[in-house]
Amino acid sequence: MNTLVITRRAPSGLPVDDWLERSRLLLATWYRRARQRSQLAELGAQQLRDIGISREQAMAEAAKPFWRE
Domain locations along the chain = 16-62
Can you spell out the DSSP letters for 33-44? HHHHHHHHHT--
Radius of gyration of the CA atoms of the chain, in A: 20
Q: Is 59 helix (H, G, I), strand (E, B) or coil?
A: helix
Are 15 and 8 a contacting pair, CB within 8 Å? yes
Chunked in runs of 10, what are the mean pLDDT values of the chain (69 residues)? 63 77 95 97 97 97 96
CA 1, chain centre distance (Å)? 47
pLDDT for 14 equals: 66
pLDDT for 4 equals: 59
Q: 9 phi and psi, to 5 degrees?
A: -120, 145
